[in-house]
Structure 1
Amino acid sequence: LGVTASLYLQSFSFNLQATVLSPFSLSPPSLLPEPPSPPPPTTTTTTLLPNGSFAFLEKLFLIHNMDDDELFWRASMVPRIQEFPYERIPKVAFMFLTKGPIPLAPLWEKFFRGHEGLYSIYFHPHPLYNVPLPEDSVFHGRRIPSKPVEWGKPSMIDAERRLLANALLDFSNERFVLLSETCIPLFNFTTIHSYLIDSNESFVASYDDPRKIGRGRYNRQMWPTINISDWRKGSQWFEVNRKLAIEIVSDSKYYPIFREYCHPPCYTDEHYIPTLVNILSPEQNSNRSISWVDWSKSGPHPGRFNRQAVTVEFLNQIRVGTNCTYNGNATSVCFLFARKFLPNTLQPLLQFSSSLFYFNP
């Protein structure tokens, strides 16, 4: 075939020639100072498809020794040849930004079951979190090198960009959704995958809030790079396509301004990506979030839900109780995920997973 595919990372390299099919040679990566010892890497294999292209069936060990600058640089690379040398099946990257464990993991396990090859998972906990995951878990081996995150500080955006960058290294990832340990899916995998892959737009809430908690957070020292007319606010929990994900991790013009001038009561996670999207490509954004939260109570954080709140009526109100636009058409399916569900909601959610969410049994 005369095709050679190669990929180099600072800590390892491998080469594959179409004329000789052999397992990848993987050297053990250097660990960061703080993260715990990772599980042993699994073997990467290749399969020659009938059309002669290669499908990389890999569950690569994600701990590497790249710093953020190198990671973002590698993730920002875009192939100049548009056609892929293999059959590319677009995947959704599910990026979990957590303090530690994912208490609702059994629900997510059931959500992902049977859909291998259509998704990727990336897990960014606190670097001191050191609880091993079962080898048969979909989260096993999906932890990325992480750093401490402080609420409302630029480190939150650093973590989000870190998740995006790691996910961008997989060229099959086409859509990227940010989730937390309190998030739940509101529909089955097939519905959510189709909704995202088929969408013409990204899902980033980005609006002009004239109040003190909106425009009042703008710092005049951001001018002229960022004007008050550019300033936007929105939910931290975004979903973006690959093109916009690359723009976020490769941004070296606007993010330094935010790091220098956006500090509490200015919160980067509420303003940076909404403002960046408004500057770069507002016409390609739906201007809404697909992650539902309850802001009916006053305070800096949305409402939380325990097991008593989990009823069919409550969940259906979130699932189909709102009107919005999808690809130019009216729909009642506006939210794909919901947030702030406590660990004790797991059992009732599992009970509803087949009858209400239509998960695979």
Structure 2
Amino acid sequence: MLRIMRFVFKDLSIGLIRVLCFLMVFVIGIVIGLLSSSHVDRYFTSQPYVLNPNQAFAINPNSLCTSSINETVSGNDRNGNVGVSCVKEDCLSMESFRFPKNVSHGMTDEELLWRGSLVPENAHYPFDRMPKIAFLFLTRGDLPFLPLWERFFKGQDAMKYSVYVHSNPGVKLDVLNSSVFYKRQIPSQAVEWGKVTLVEAERRLLGNALLDFSNERFVLLSESCIPIYNFPTVYKYLVESKYSFLDCYEDPSRYGQGRYNRYMKPDIRPRDWRKGSQWFEMNRALAVKVVADTKYFNLFKRYCTDDCYPDEHYMPTFVHMFHEPLNAGRTVTYVDWSVGGPHPVSFEAKNITESFLKSLRNNGTTCSYNKGKSHICYLFARKFESSALEPLLELASKVLEY
């Protein structure tokens, strides 16, 4: 009996093992089949073209680095400026890198000045470079002499100049899309007269203009400035100059040396202190040095306060200390300080005569230019009231030659 039971159990165990082996092979086959099917699906769905030729579409390889004309970056940046994506162009192309077509961006001042300070080690440009003059307008509101400036630029080669406008936030220039000022307002911040925010705005304008690698000369202008020579004369004078034009002189009075703060020592000593008009013109080499500076600007930001007026002292002192050989030591913007006080003479409609404009252009004096002498000392003049626009437009073609 026991022998019979051993045979029965032996037969049952052999059958159970066979069933288990069959089930294992079956399950393994199902798993292999599922994995193979998933791989095939991924292969076909990842191809540039679908199987049905009537529904075939090609993936545009350029779509990986281009944007639709309607695409914009959502949200605001840290400065509250709305950023705009690249528009129908290769975002990494040389063209977009060397010649930004839109002055809107989302960079902070720190990021902007860092990028503006970049200098290529290779002196050879991989493109045909036409030196441009960057006209930097630092304004509180509108540009009252915009019609005069439009006439100044009219008919000129657009590859020889660029325009940048820094105005208080909320100000929007009302110009036609054909205007040279159309969409040329840079991301700006509030500015107070006599405060370090003026210098920050100047550096912000330089930083934006340096992004265009063709900009070679940079002239700072206010809303009350006018050009007193035509564009070809201004272009030739600046582009051919070996030096920058930054006003820089010693003033032993309380309005000069008296503004020095002893806490700036030892980095800035009393004998280093200089004064000058803020309305500068400089070449690219000097502009890069100015935006790259953090040490001395921060000293001015910390210690040149109250009645110090950093816009009259920071750049003259910094350039005198480190880059004097690059500077002519004078300005090309005429200002009349003959009445004294904190503000220059303002010119109204009644002041605008043919003889007055001729005196601005050439009053018989000469000045240094490229180690020589020139009868052209000033290219621009200020400070003009808005009432002067009409008589200026009437005399511009006859006297100013534009």
Q: Does 1:81 align with 2:125?
A: no
Aligned 8 A contact 2:66 2:86 in 1:
no
Q: Does 1:136 align with 2:178?
A: yes
Give the greater-gyration-radius structure (CA): 2
Residue aligning to 2:284: 242
Report the Cα distance in structure 1 between the residues aligned to 2:377 and 2:87, rounded to whole angstroms. 38
Report the Cα distance in structure 2 between the residues aligned to 1:36 and 1:347, rounded to whole angstroms. 36
Residue aligning to 2:367: 324
Structure 1 stretch 96-105 or stretch 23-32: which is displaced more?
A: 23-32
Shift in alpha-carbon separation, 1:313–1:36, aligned structure 2, 3 A:
farther
Report the Cα distance in structure 2 between the residues aligned to 1:227 and 1:242, rounded to whole angstroms. 27
Q: Which amino acid aligns with 1:92?
A: I
Residue aligning to 1:17: none
Q: Aligned to 2:72, which of 1, 4, 28?
A: 28
Q: Which amino acid aligns with 2:201?
A: A
Q: Aligned to 2:249, which of 207, 225, 234?
A: 207
The structure 1 segments of at least 4 consecutive aligned residues displaced by more than 3 Å after TM superposition are 23-27, 29-45, 53-59
Report the Cα distance in structure 2 between the residues aligned to 1:154 and 1:243, rounded to whole angstroms. 23
Report the Cα distance in structure 2 between the residues aligned to 1:204 and 1:260, rounded to whole angstroms. 23
Question: Structure 2 matches for 1:1-361, cutoff 5 A?
Answer: 25=67, 28-29=72-73, 31=76, 60-115=101-156, 116-321=158-363, 322-359=365-402
Report the Cα distance in structure 2 between the residues aligned to 1:35 and 1:351, rounded to whole angstroms. 42
Structure 2, unaligned runs of 5 or more: 1-61
Q: Which amino acid aligns with 2:362?
A: V
Deviations 1:49-108 (A, max 9, x none): xxxx97999672211110000001100110111100010000000000000110100110
Q: Which amino acid aligns with 2:72?
A: P
Query: Residue 317 of structure 1 aligns to a residue in which SS?
Result: helix
Q: Which amino acid aligns with 1:338?
A: A
Shift in alpha-carbon separation, 1:76–1:192, aligned structure 2, 3 A:
same
Deviations 1:269-319 (A, max 9, x none): 000000011011112211111000110112101111111101111111111
Q: CA deviation at 1:44?
A: 6.7
Deviations 1:176-227 (A, max 9, x none): 0000000000100000011000001000011011111111111010000101
Report the Cα distance in structure 2 between the residues aligned to 1:342 and 1:40, rounded to whole angstroms. 40
Q: CA deviation at 1:343?
A: 1.2
Residue aligning to 2:47: none
Query: Residue 92 of structure 1 aligns to a residue in which SS?
Result: strand
Aligned 8 A contact 2:81 2:105 in 1:
no
Q: TM-score, normalised by structure 2?
A: 0.77
More helix by proportion, 1 or 2? 2
Identity of aligned residues (%): 46
Query: Residue 229 of structure 1 aligns to a residue in which SS?
Result: helix
Report the Cα distance in structure 2 between the residues aligned to 1:283 and 1:128, rounded to whole angstroms. 40
Indicate the RMSD between aligned Cα atoms, in angstroms: 2.6
Q: Which amino acid aligns with 1:79?
A: P
Q: CA deviation at 1:36?
A: 8.5
Query: Residue 65 of structure 1 aligns to a residue in which SS?
Result: coil
Report the Cα distance in structure 2 between the residues aligned to 1:90 and 1:278, rounded to whole angstroms. 26
Q: TM-score, normalised by structure 1?
A: 0.86
Structure 1, unaligned runs of 5 or more: 1-19, 46-52
